Amino acid sequence: MKIPVLKSSIKKKPDVIIFDWDNTLVDTWPVIADSLNAALSAFDKKPWTMQQVKTKVKHSLRDSFPTLFGQNWKSAAKIFYKRFEMIHTKLLCPIKGIPEMLDALTESGIQLSIVSNKRGDYLRNEIDFLNWCHYFNNIVGANDAEFDKPSVKTIEMALKYASKSENINVWFVGDSNIDMECAINSGCIPILLRKNPPFIDEFKDFKPTLHFLNGRQLCEKLKSLNYLEKNNNI
């Protein structure tokens, strides 16, 4: 399947908005840090601070663990997932204002999808746990596509059930450099959604077109462009 995106533009209403999951829509840093440090400790590696986790964790496990653990990466992955399975839904926390944003976007008729580097089965389990499945037209996690984000293969899969038009306008919304890279590589509009401002040179090669501190700001921008009903309560 070829990506049905030609020249996405901020001047046109998005037909589809693709969201990253972790720390874009839900706060999962505590879960990621806890599970990763369980694996690091098992191999006598120094645990990472939360700041290190937030700075270094970008790629999927199948792409990052071989570098981090070498030939032991599969054993480390088992330890990571064992700990992760114990805590990931218990500590799952939607970011403030995100449910209201998803309601508003859904009511506007914009199709929503997810592309994440979290393993697909865990990703869908978390979305189901929050009763959010009805928001998303398609959900793509790590190992679902031939390659993980930032590969354009993930976007191709996410747009599988989108409009058949070859001229759809797509925004990709995420919190990290790898999200912006994925967006730009696939012809989507790169949108940064997080409360923290960019670090120096963080987006040197893949710059976001817009930065929103929260879901309310994103919706207000859509309203200002007449892409969202102005009387929408958000």
In whole angstroms, give the CA distance from residue 230 to residue 234: 9
Residues of the chain with CATH 1.10.150: 29-87
Helix (H, G, I), strand (E, B) or coil at 16: strand
**Tens-place pLDDT, residues 105-132:** 999 999 999 999 999 999 999 999 999 9
The topology under which CATH files domain 16-27+94-224 is Rossmann fold (3.40.50)
Domain 29-87, CATH = 1.10.150
- The answer to whether the CB of 91 falls within 8 A of the CB of 31 is yes
Going by C-alpha positions, the residue among 176, 170, 216 that lies closest to residue 192 is: 176
Residues of the chain with CATH 3.40.50.1000: 16-27+94-224
Model-level pTM greater than 0.75? yes
**Tens-place pLDDT, residues 166-200:** 678 999 999 999 999 999 999 999 999 999 888 88
- The answer to whether the CB of 112 falls within 8 A of the CB of 106 is yes
